[in-house]
Amino acid sequence: MRGDPRHAPSRPRRGDRDTGGGPRQRQGTPGAEPAELASLLEPVIHAAGMDLETVRVSPAGRRRLLRLIVDADGGVGLDEIAEVSREVSARLDASGAMGDVPYTLEVSSPGVDRPLTEPRHWRRAQGRLVSVPLAVPDGDAPSSITAAARRAPTMEGRVLVAGDTGVTLEVDGDQLELDYAELGPGRIQVEFGRAAEGPVGEGVGQAADRARSQNGGSRDGH
């Protein structure tokens, strides 16, 4: 679930203060690249029990906007977002990784439009209806996939179990076990009016239990 973006404004860097002696122009030092920031911040976010999904830096007037997307099993609440924002802000200030140009830090959870590309994404989508394209040519598609599914540009099914290497989908009443290598990025489908029975309804939950017992219930540990 994603609500309004949660953010914590950073404090101005030391180089932004007026040190006296009349006005003068400063050339701000640019900060680290997103990959470097990810390496710096991942230990902090992992220590909070979350995964760092995305790091983006973009201009915002005279400042920059640092956007972090974080996620965890069971989702991320407002209190967890606020706490990890404080920890991240402290790490950034201590390291000087953002350089001298002032910035705003925004930390939020992913929306339903986030593509499912990692085992943990699929695991967190258990019980949800998803659409997913086949990533293999039609002639190489697994025999378990029906002819109709082969012809369609995407398959649509419910995630029963997601393991380290593959996922079990319920498609038209059948259970299909597919390797992630056979699939493209999945997309969660919004279901309006679905009964609020938790992430997995009764019938889906029973099917998931059966599928889990069949494949050993392997799970991604990330």
The structure's pTM equals 0.63
Question: When comparing pLDDT for 100 and 2, which is higher?
Answer: 100
Verify that 62 and 143 share a domain, yes or no.
no
- Angstrom CA distances, 6 to 78, 108, 117, stand at 8, 6, 24
Verify that 158 and 86 share a domain, yes or no.
no
Q: Which two tokens stand for residue 211?
A: 């599928």
Res. 220: pLDDT tops 60: no
Verify that 131 and 183 share a domain, yes or no.
yes
Model confidence at 211, pLDDT cuts 50, 70, 90, reads very low
| Residue 60 belongs to some domain of the structure | yes
Rounded to whole angstroms, the Cα distance separating 10 from 39 reads: 19
| Residue 71 belongs to some domain of the structure | yes
Question: When comparing pLDDT for 169 and 213, which is higher?
Answer: 169
Verify that 11 and 104 share a domain, yes or no.
yes
Identify the domain boundary among 108, 137, 154.
Answer: 108
Q: Are 127 and 199 in contact (CB under 8 A)?
A: yes
Determine the structural domain holding residue 27 and report its residue range. Answer: 7-108
Please give the backbone phi and psi of residue 65, each rounded to the nearest 5 degrees, phi first: -115, 120
pLDDT (tens digit, 9 = 90+) per residue, 145-192? 554 445 456 889 999 999 999 999 999 999 999 999 989 999 999 888
| Residue 113 belongs to some domain of the structure | no
| Total domains, the chain | 2
pLDDT (tens digit, 9 = 90+) per residue, 113-144? 889 999 999 999 999 999 999 876 555 555 55
| Residue 205 belongs to some domain of the structure | yes
pLDDT at residue 19, as a whole number: 32
In whole angstroms, how large is the CA radius of gyration of the chain?
22
Verify that 29 and 73 share a domain, yes or no.
yes
Identify the domain boundary among 67, 83, 108.
Answer: 108
CA 12 to chain centre: 29
| Residue 2 belongs to some domain of the structure | no
Verify that 185 and 158 share a domain, yes or no.
yes
What is residue 169's three-state secondary structure? strand
Model confidence at 64, pLDDT cuts 50, 70, 90, reads very high
**The CATH number of the domain where 192 resides is what?**
2.30.30.180
| Residue 51 belongs to some domain of the structure | yes
Identify the domain boundary among 108, 131, 147.
Answer: 108
pLDDT at residue 30, as a whole number: 61
| Residue 78 belongs to some domain of the structure | yes
Q: Are 135 and 110 in contact (CB under 8 A)?
A: no
Q: Are 171 and 148 in contact (CB under 8 A)?
A: no
Question: When comparing pLDDT for 12 and 185, which is higher?
Answer: 185
Please give the backbone phi and psi of residue 184, each rounded to the nearest 5 degrees, phi first: -85, -170
pLDDT at residue 1, as a whole number: 42
Verify that 124 and 77 share a domain, yes or no.
no
Rounded to whole angstroms, the Cα distance separating 162 from 43 reads: 25
